[in-house]
């Protein structure tokens, strides 16, 4: 869109001269019909006032018409289309009315119309003023129209308005928002004055451009800093993930006695949430209470988010329950807080409560609740969410939500549904490719992962760090040592992706589980990163598989130092000793656990039946259907014995007799969940369970046989991967 500069070269004969028919200003300002405008709450009220204005003849005055247009164009209760109808009835609108209609469109979703009105204004010879340009420049900024913005800048210079504070600041904003920081700085440097507003405009531009340090240098030059300039820097640090610096900046602001406003507090609470600064978050809450703004819902929601992410869920829930009129954000931050702190059952319960309220979930709600569905294996609820999205969000462009659906389906054991969502995505993001490959890797579908990797590359999507974690994990689950080596080498050589802990972890796990301990140890020694607990843990797990006691003792020492409160390495080493018949060493480990008061994470298994998630612990008898469950469990054990199944008791506590050991094995949480599934679902349907720990060898062999005896496919997710049991065999091929 080009502007005619000649339209600015005007004389008094070419300008529209307005009739001087308006009564004195003081009479108009206090006219009863016009004072009614301040009481208008919607467009219907305005039309009633307009009728009064027409009856009194005030509709012939520019003043009254400007007030009507102002309400329709600017007021949140107005109607921009009605403002345009009013504007078109005015024979010769004065500059105030032109500016009002331009301002209205600049604030709307159609800022291009504001620019079109500006062009029309010029073509009619009406001279823009210092109130016109801020809104025209704002529209250019919103639309990214730098070329047109430069033309407007030329008009500003011709009219000698570059020294006007609002025009000057708008020019800086326009250039800064369009990424033209050199021009923004040039406008700033040429100015004869520099107030906090113009400084802040330039600072905001630097922050948007990612030049936070340049913004800080400029901030230090401000002679008199106001709350807006402080807010810009605090928000900049927070949005850039530099949370500690944001909080240090806020502390400095407090020392300078600048009073924080809502924007300050929102940024600070966000920084507290991400950095875990509960102490400062408590101070902010006290400040809010002391200043009597506890009813500010935005701040209360931010407090809920802060307390949730800092781990104080009780305080967060107390604030949430105290809100009389909860908005969508209130529900989302509380559900998200539960999910963030791995309180998945609580997240699902609150989502159910939300469904019973008058609030309809949105895409943020689903992004917060889908991880809980995935973790608990709540497939029915996940399917309901998918159907809800399909029905109510036809044109949803939130690729994160579709990616989250892929993750939910794969973690709930429904690969077919996950692939349907994935294939339906267009375009596919790197995150969606990664989610699909990660899910397939968990299910042991290495062939499909490698197929997708090749297709991803062909489609022009560049593999990233997460992609190679998926590929190497797939190779590890399938025992594909040579292919794993190939992709590990290729990631750096062909894709410039350098290995991190997770990549090394996958390779070490792959080599160690294949019994190649020398190669695994050599890789650990050659790593340029210090190995973490996960790497040592995978090596210890491989020692259990291959009975490598000597290496297990060395690896355990590393884990005891790294994770002294983690019971896992102690239990695993105890099991390795038990497998080797070294019962005195088993006793020593058990004594260490007791002396250090380290509590082993109890094994639990969940199963969803009729959209309700049921959770079982070992020997659990708390379920309402416990009698029926144990009756089925006894039947399972009877049939297992009839089919020749002999429980492996080698890894159960050494000081329990053989009969007692068998009893404990029979009552493992996964067997209780399977028994419940058998009595609660129709014959022939798939049973899906989720266990928080690695499935033990005894339960694995028993479940294979159960799938054959009862003619059921049993899909089990443990801490490491998926197992699809069918017709007496498992998809992992006993390699897990």
The pLDDT of residue 195 is 78
Residue 713 and residue 435 in contact, taking contact as beta carbons nearer than 8 Å: no
Residue 32 pLDDT greater than 80, yes or no: no
Report which of residues 21 and 13 the model is more confident about: 21
Q: How far apart are CA 485 and CA 508, in angstroms?
A: 11
The pLDDT of residue 603 is 83
Q: Which range is least confidently modeled, 18-22, 352-356, 417-421, 680-684?
A: 18-22
The tokens describing 694, both together, are 């690695």
DSSP labels, 450-481: HHHHHHHHHTTPPP-HHHHHHHHHHHHHHT-H
Q: How many C-alpha atoms does 617 have within 13 Å on its Cβ side?
A: 5
The pLDDT of residue 90 is 87
Residue 128 pLDDT greater than 90, yes or no: yes
Closest C-alpha among 699, 687, 601 to residue 649: 699
Q: What is the largest CA-CA distance in the chain?
A: 111
Pairing of strands 604-609, 612-617: antiparallel
Mean pLDDT: which of 66-70, 166-170, 704-708 is highest?
704-708
Which positions ≥6 away from 120 have C-beta within 8 Å?
none
pLDDT tens-digit readout, 368-408? 999 999 999 999 999 999 999 888 876 666 788 999 999 99
Residue 563 and residue 536 in contact, taking contact as beta carbons nearer than 8 Å: no
Q: How many C-alpha atoms does 32 have within 13 Å on its Cβ side?
A: 4
Give the residue-averaged pLDDT of 117-135: 94
DSSP structure class, residue 39:
G
Q: How far apart are CA 687 and CA 678, in angstroms?
A: 8
DSSP structure class, residue 734:
T
Compute, in degrees rounded to 10, the torsion defined by CA atoms 20, 21, 27, 30: -100
Residue 171 pLDDT greater than 60, yes or no: yes
The pLDDT of residue 2 is 54
pLDDT tens-digit readout, 522-581? 999 999 889 999 999 999 999 988 999 999 999 999 999 999 988 889 988 998 998 888
How far is residue 537 from each of residues 88, 144, 186, 544, 559, measured CA to CA in Å?
75, 52, 58, 11, 7
Q: How far apart are CA 431 and CA 497, in angstroms?
A: 16
DSSP structure class, residue 92:
S
The pLDDT of residue 276 is 93
Residue 59 pLDDT greater than 90, yes or no: no
Q: Percentage of the chain surpassing pLDDT 70?
A: 91
Closest C-alpha among 392, 393, 325 to residue 359: 325
Residue 663 pLDDT greater than 70, yes or no: no
Residue 296 pLDDT greater than 60, yes or no: yes
The pLDDT of residue 282 is 95
Q: How many C-alpha atoms does 499 have within 13 Å on its Cβ side?
A: 25
Tell me the backbone φ, ψ of residue 715, rounded to 5 degrees: -100, 115
Closest C-alpha among 263, 404, 279 to residue 339: 404
- Average pLDDT over the chain, rounded to an integer: 88
The pLDDT of residue 3 is 57
Q: How far apart are CA 303 and CA 355, in angstroms?
A: 23
Query: Which residues in 581-663 belong to E strands, given as ranges?
Result: 604-609, 612-617
The tokens describing 507, both together, are 């390779």
DSSP structure class, residue 14:
T
Strand partners, 606: 615, 690
The pLDDT of residue 661 is 38
Q: How far apart are CA 446 and CA 442, in angstroms?
A: 9
Q: Which range is least confidently modeled, 19-23, 323-327, 595-599?
A: 19-23
Helix H or strand E segment including 636: helix 626-642
Letter string b/e over residues 218-240, b meaning 16 or more CB atoms within 10 A of that residue's CB: bbeebeebeebbbbbbbbbbbee
How far is residue 33 from each of residues 25, 39, 53, 67, 97, measured CA to CA in Å?
14, 11, 6, 11, 19
Give the residue-averaged pLDDT of 194-205: 85
The pLDDT of residue 22 is 55
The pLDDT of residue 11 is 30
Handedness of CA 164, 168, 170, 171 (dihedral sign): positive
The tokens describing 327, both together, are 């908005």
Q: How many CB atoms lie under 10 A from the CB of residue 79?
A: 18
The pLDDT of residue 588 is 93
Confidence of residue 658 (pLDDT cuts 50, 70, 90): very low
Residue 30 pLDDT greater than 80, yes or no: no
Residue 180 pLDDT greater than 80, yes or no: yes
DSSP labels, 488-531: HHHHHHTT-----HHHHHHHHHHHHHTT-HHHHHHHHHH-SS--
Residue 507 pLDDT greater than 80, yes or no: yes
Report which of residues 387 and 40 the model is more confident about: 387
The pLDDT of residue 571 is 87
Residue 141 and residue 178 in contact, taking contact as beta carbons nearer than 8 Å: yes
The pLDDT of residue 299 is 96
Whether the upstream peptide bond of residue 28 has omega within 30° of 0, thus cis, is: no
CA angle, residues 262, 264, 268, in degrees to nearest 5: 115
Confidence of residue 351 (pLDDT cuts 50, 70, 90): very high
Residue positions counted in the chain: 736
The pLDDT of residue 68 is 83
Q: How many CB atoms lie under 10 A from the CB of residue 621?
A: 12
How far is residue 480 from each of residues 438, 483, 509, 536, 725, measured CA to CA in Å?
16, 6, 11, 21, 22
Give the residue-averaged pLDDT of 268-281: 95
Give the residue-averaged pLDDT of 263-288: 95
Residue 66 pLDDT greater than 90, yes or no: no
Q: How many CB atoms lie under 10 A from the CB of residue 248?
A: 14
Residue 412 and residue 380 in contact, taking contact as beta carbons nearer than 8 Å: no
3-state secondary structure of 690: strand
Strand partners, 18: none
Tell me the backbone φ, ψ of residue 78, rounded to 5 degrees: -85, -165
Give the residue-averaged pLDDT of 244-272: 94
Q: DSSP alpha helices (H): ranges in 57-194? A: 62-74, 80-89, 95-106, 111-123, 133-143, 146-158, 165-177, 181-190
How far is residue 568 from each of residues 208, 521, 572, 693, 697, measured CA to CA in Å?
46, 21, 6, 10, 17
Q: How many CB atoms lie under 10 A from the CB of residue 292?
A: 8
Q: How far apart are CA 211 and CA 233, in angstroms?
A: 11
pTM of the full structure: 0.78
Handedness of CA 616, 620, 625, 627 (dihedral sign): positive
Q: Percentage of the chain surpassing pLDDT 90?
A: 63
Pairing of strands 687-691, 714-717: parallel
Strand partners, 200: none
The pLDDT of residue 31 is 62
Confidence of residue 441 (pLDDT cuts 50, 70, 90): very high
pLDDT tens-digit readout, 5-18? 444 433 333 333 34
pLDDT tens-digit readout, 527-536? 988 999 999 9
Give the residue-averaged pLDDT of 295-316: 96
Q: How far apart are CA 292 and CA 299, in angstroms?
A: 12
pLDDT tens-digit readout, 479-502? 999 999 999 999 999 999 999 999
Q: How many CB atoms lie under 10 A from the CB of residue 591?
A: 10
């Amino acid at each position: 869109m080009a502007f005619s500069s000649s339209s600015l070269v005007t004389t008094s004969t070419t300008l529209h001269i307005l009739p001087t028919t308006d009564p004195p200003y003081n009479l108009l300002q206090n006219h009863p019909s016009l004072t009614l405008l301040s009481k208008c709450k919607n467009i219907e009220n305005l039309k009633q006032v307009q009728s009064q204005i027409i009856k009194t003849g005030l509709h012939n005055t520019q003043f009254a018409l400007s007030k009507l247009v102002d309400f329709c164009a600017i007021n949140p209760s107005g109607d921009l289309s009605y403002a345009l109808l009013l504007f078109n009835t005015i024979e010769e609108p004065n500059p105030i009315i032109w500016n009002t209609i331009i301002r209205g469109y600049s604030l709307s979703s159609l800022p291009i119309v504001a620019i079109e009105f500006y062009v029309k204004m010029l073509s009619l010879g009406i001279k823009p003023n210092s109130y016109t340009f801020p809104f025209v420049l704002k529209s250019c900024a919103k639309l990214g129209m730098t070329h047109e913005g430069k033309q407007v800048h030329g008009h500003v210079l011709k009219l000698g308005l570059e020294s006007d504070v609002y025009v000057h600041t708008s020019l800086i904003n326009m250039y800064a928002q369009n990424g033209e920081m050199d021009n923004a700085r040039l406008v700033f440097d040429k100015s004869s004055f520099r107030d906090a507003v113009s400084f802040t405009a330039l600072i905001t531009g630097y922050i948007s451009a990612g030049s936070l340090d340049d913004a800080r240098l400029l901030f230090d030059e401000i002679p008199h800093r106001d709350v807006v300039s402080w807010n810009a820097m605090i928000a900049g640090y927070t949005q850039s993930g530099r949370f500690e610096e944001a909080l240090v900046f806020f502390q400095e602001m407090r020392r300078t006695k600048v009073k924080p406003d809502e924007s300050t507090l929102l940024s600070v609470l966000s920084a507290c949430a991400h950095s875990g600064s509960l102490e400062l978050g408590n101070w902010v809450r006290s400040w809010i209470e002391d200043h009597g703004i506890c009813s500010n819902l935005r701040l209360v929601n931010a407090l809920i988010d802060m307390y949730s992410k800092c781990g104080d869920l009780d305080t967060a829930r107390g604030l949430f329950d105290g809100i009389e009129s909860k908005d969508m954000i209130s529900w989302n931050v509380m559900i998200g807080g539960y999910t963030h702190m791995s309180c998945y059952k609580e997240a699902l319960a609150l989502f159910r409560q939300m469904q019973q309220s008058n609030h309809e979930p949105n895409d943020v709600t689903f992004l917060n609740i889908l991880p809980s569905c995935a973790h608990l294996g709540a497939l029915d609820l996940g399917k309901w969410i998918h159907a809800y999205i399909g029905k109510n969000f036809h044109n949803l462009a939130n690729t994160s939500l579709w990616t989250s659906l892929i993750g939910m389906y794969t973690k709930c054991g429904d690969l077919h549904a996950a692939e349907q969502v994935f294939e339906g995505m267009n375009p596919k993001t790197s995150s969606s490719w990664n989610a699909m490959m990660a899910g397939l890797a968990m299910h042991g579908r290495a062939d499909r992962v490698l197929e997708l990797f090749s297709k991803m590359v062909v489609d022009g999507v560049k593999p990233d760090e997460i992609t190679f974690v998926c590929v190497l994990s797939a190779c590890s689950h399938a025992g594909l040592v040579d292919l794993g080596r190939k992709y590990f080498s290729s990631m750096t050589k062909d894709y410039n992706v350098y290995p991190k802990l997770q990549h090394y972890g996958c390779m070490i796990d792959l080599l160690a589980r294949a019994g190649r301990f020398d190669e695994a140890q050599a890789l650990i020694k050659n790593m340029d990163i210090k190995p973490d607990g996960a790497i040592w843990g995978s090596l210890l797990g491989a020692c259990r598989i291959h009975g490598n006691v000597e290496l297990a003792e060395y690896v355990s020492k590393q884990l005891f130092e790294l994770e002294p409160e983690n019971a896992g390495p102690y239990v695993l080493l105890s099991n390795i000793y038990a497998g080797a018949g070294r019962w005195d060493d088993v006793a020593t480990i058990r004594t260490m656990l007791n002396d250090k008061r380290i509590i082993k994470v109890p094994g639990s298994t969940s199963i969803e039946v009729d959209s309700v998630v049921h959770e079982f612990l070992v020997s659990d008898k708390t379920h309402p259907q416990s009698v029926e469950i144990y009756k089925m469990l006894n039947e399972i054990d009877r049939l297992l014995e009839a089919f020749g199944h002999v429980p492996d008791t080698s890894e159960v506590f050494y000081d329990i007799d053989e009969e007692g050991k068998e009893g404990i094995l029979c009552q493992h949480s996964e067997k209780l969940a399977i028994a419940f599934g058998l009595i609660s679902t129709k014959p022939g349907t798939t049973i899906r369970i989720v266990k928080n720990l690695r499935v033990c060898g005894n339960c694995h062999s028993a479940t294979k046989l159960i799938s054959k005896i009862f003619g059921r496919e049993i899909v089990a997710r443990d801490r490491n991967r998926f197992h699809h049991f069918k017709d007496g065999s498992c998809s992992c091929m006993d390699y897990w």
